């Protein structure tokens, strides 16, 4: 009778400890995950810049690799602003776009804003740029996501005068962090402690069952 009571109490303690551990684990799953990424895309400006219209609509369509999340279809839409050189030629100065990164056929996505500043040409004479992704939401595992990422890149525009609808290949690489309730987190120390306690209680209950 005594041994049955002890076993019953032990089982209750194991169940309660398991539920606590599971609860802490679920709580810890709202994680901040670091990632690296590379994007290759084609940018299109609709129109020709001028003194009167230095800003034009633009789109960016391509693909990206986001580690550890995998490959994504990447797209942007917004506005590109040009500046005029002393020669009278116009060159890109900045971009403000909305972006979407879509994973697994659109099951998981995150989106936000993309701010780009163009810098001096590189050694090959190609325009360079720095970008900041501000993550403002998502779907699937990225539902409710927030985050920030920065990158540097290079554009490879066709030679000659800027033409309406001109397609410019882009490539960039950077790092960032994203936080979302659906992302898997590394268990916190408290979770490890509770799981360890559950294992210890299970071991004690097993020994009592053997001796009684």
Query: Could you give the percent of the chain with pLDDT greater than 90?
Result: 59
pLDDT at 194 over 60: no
pLDDT at 204 over 80: no
- 147 with 179: CB under 8 angstroms? yes
6-25 residue pLDDT tens: 545 555 454 444 444 454 44
- Measured between alpha carbons, how far is 203 from 199 in angstroms, rounded to an integer? 6
148-186 residue pLDDT tens: 999 999 999 876 556 666 789 999 999 999 999 999 754
CA atoms within 13 A on the CB side of 153: 25
């Amino acid at each position: 009778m005594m041994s049955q009571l002890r076993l019953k109490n032990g089982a209750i303690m194991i169940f309660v400890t398991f539920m606590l551990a599971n609860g802490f684990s679920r709580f810890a799953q709202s994680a901040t995950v670091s990632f690296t990424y590379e994007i290759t895309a084609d940018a299109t400006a609709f129109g020709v810049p001028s003194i009167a219209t230095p800003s034009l609509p633009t789109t960016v369509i391509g693909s990206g690799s986001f580690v550890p999340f995998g490959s994504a279809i990447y797209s942007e839409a917004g506005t590109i602003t040009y500046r005029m050189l002393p020669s009278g030629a116009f060159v890109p100065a900045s971009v403000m776009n909305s972006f979407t990164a879509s994973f697994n056929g659109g099951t998981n996505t995150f989106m936000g804003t993309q701010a780009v500043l163009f810098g001096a040409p590189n050694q090959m004479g190609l325009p360079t740029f720095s970008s900041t992704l501000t993550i403002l939401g998502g779907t699937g595992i990225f539902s409710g996501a927030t985050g920030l990422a920065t990158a540097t890149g290079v554009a490879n525009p066709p030679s000659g005068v800027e033409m309406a609808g001109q397609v410019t290949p882009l490539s960039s690489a950077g790092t960032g962090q994203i936080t979302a309730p659906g992302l898997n987190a590394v268990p916190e120390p408290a979770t490890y402690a509770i799981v360890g306690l559950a294992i210890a209680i299970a071991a004690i209950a097993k020994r009592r069952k053997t001796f009684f």
